[in-house]
Amino acid sequence: MERLLRDRKAILLFVGPALLLYTLVLFIPIVWSTSYSFFSGSPIKGFEFVGLDNYKQLFGDKTFLKSLEFSIKYTVIVSIGQVFMGLMLALLFVFYLKKTSFIVRTMVFFPVVLPTVAVAQMFGKIFEIAPRYGLVNALFESLQLDFLIQPWLGQASTAFWIIAVMEIWKAMGFYAVILFAGLLDIPDEILEAAKLDGAKGFNLLRFVITPLIKPIIFASMIFSLNGALKVYDSVVALTNGGPGNSTTPLTLYMYVTSFRFNEYGYGSTIAVILMLISLFITLFIYSFNRKE
C-alpha cells in the first residue's frame, strides 16, 4: 500500500479523472462567473466591460442588502436549529431508545428524502388562509381563538419563521444520523468511567460527550451553513420570495437578476459575493476546529 501511495503515476491514474470532472463541473464555472461580474449585459444584449462598477452598485442596492440580511439571519437560525435538533435526536437514539431506535430513525430521516416541493406544499396547506383555512387556522377557529387567525405566509414576520421551521424539520434527520454515528464511536469505557466519577445528565453531555464529537459537530455546521446560505427551492416553492421581497435570499435574487432581468453581469456579482461568504464561513469554522 505504501509503495502504491508513493507512485505518482498510480495516484494520477486514480485521482486524475475525479479531479478533471471536479474542475470541469465546479472550478471552470466559478472562473466564468467571476469574469462575468466585471461586465454588464447578457448574451442577447451583448456585454460591456464595467470593471468594479457592479461591486460598487451592491452597496447602494436596497434589495441586495435586504436579501443579504435575510440570508444571514436565515442561515444562523436554520443552521443552529438543524444541528441542535440533530444532536438532541442522536442523544435520544443512543441513550434512551437504544436498540429500538431504528423505527424512529427511519421516520425522522424520511423528510430528508422527500421532494422539497412536496414539503413546501404540505406546509403551505398547513398555514393556508384562503380559499379555506389550513390546519393551524382551523385549529384556532375550533378553539374560538379567532384573533390568532392570520395570513401566515402573507406577512414577512411569520413567513420567515415558517420557512425556517420547515427547513429545520426537513433536514434535522440528516444531521441526527451523522451525529448518531459520531456518538456510536465513543468508547463505552469512557462513558462508564465518567459516570463513576459523578458525571451525568447535562454535565456528561457538556464535559464528556460534546468534546469527543466536536469534529462531527463542526462538520455538520459546515454542511448546514453552506446549505442554508444556498437555499433556493424551499423559498421558491413556499413563498417565491414574498410577500414583496421580504423572504428573498441571495440565490433567488441572483436568479431573478440574471434570468428575468437579463443582467448576467450583476447576477454573477451576487453569485461571487455568495461564494465568498460561503468560503469565509467554511474556512473560519475549519480554522477554529483546527485550533481546538
Handedness of CA 245, 248, 253, 256 (dihedral sign): negative
pLDDT at position 42 = 81
DSSP 8-state symbol, 49: E
Dihedral pair phi/psi, residue 51, rounded to 5°: 65, -125
pTM confidence score: 0.88
Mean pLDDT of the chain, nearest integer? 88
> pLDDT band for position 20 (50/70/90)?
confident
- For 73-125, write each residue's pLDDT tens digit: 999 999 999 999 999 999 999 888 877 778 888 888 999 999 999 999 999 99
Output the nine-digit C-alpha cell for 26: 465546479
For domain 63-291, which architecture applies?
Orthogonal Bundle (1.10)
Q: Say if residues 281 and 66 touch (Cβ distance below 8 Å).
A: no
pLDDT > 90: what percent of the chain? 52
**What are the structural domain ranges in the chain?**
63-291
Q: How do strand 39-42 and strand 46-49 relate by DSSP bridges? A: antiparallel
Give per-residue pLDDT as tens, 39-54: 998 877 888 899 899 9
**pLDDT for residue 194 is more than 60:** yes
Reported as type and span, the H/E element at residue 277 is helix 264-291
Considering only residues 286 and 157, tell me which one the structure prediction assigns the higher pLDDT.
157
Contact in structure between 179 and 213 (CB atoms under 8 Å): yes
Radius of gyration for the alpha carbons in the chain, expressed in angstroms and rounded: 23
Residue 226 confidence (pLDDT) above 80: yes
User: Which pLDDT score is estimated for 68?
Assistant: 94
Whether residue 18 is predicted with pLDDT greater than 70 in this model: the reply is yes
Q: What is the dihedral of CA 279, 250, 255, 223, to 10 degrees?
A: 40
Q: Confidence class of residue 132 from pLDDT cuts 50, 70 and 90?
A: confident
Q: What pLDDT is stored for residue 130 in this prediction?
A: 82
pLDDT band at 62 (very low <50, low <70, confident <90, very high): very high
Instruction: Rank 3-17, 72-86, 102-116, 145-159 by mean pLDDT and report only the highest.
Output: 72-86
* pLDDT class of 7 with cuts at 50, 70, 90: low
Distance CA 268, CA 265 (A): 5
Q: What is the mean pLDDT of residues 158-173?
A: 95
The per-residue pLDDT for range 239-272, each reduced to its tens digit, is 999 888 899 999 999 999 998 888 999 999 999 9
By percentage, how much of the chain surpasses pLDDT 70? 96
Q: Where are the alpha helices (DSSP H) in 37-115?
A: 53-58, 62-92, 101-113
The CA angle 245-228-136, to the nearest 5 degrees, is 65
6 pLDDT exceeds 90? no
Region 130-150 average pLDDT: 90
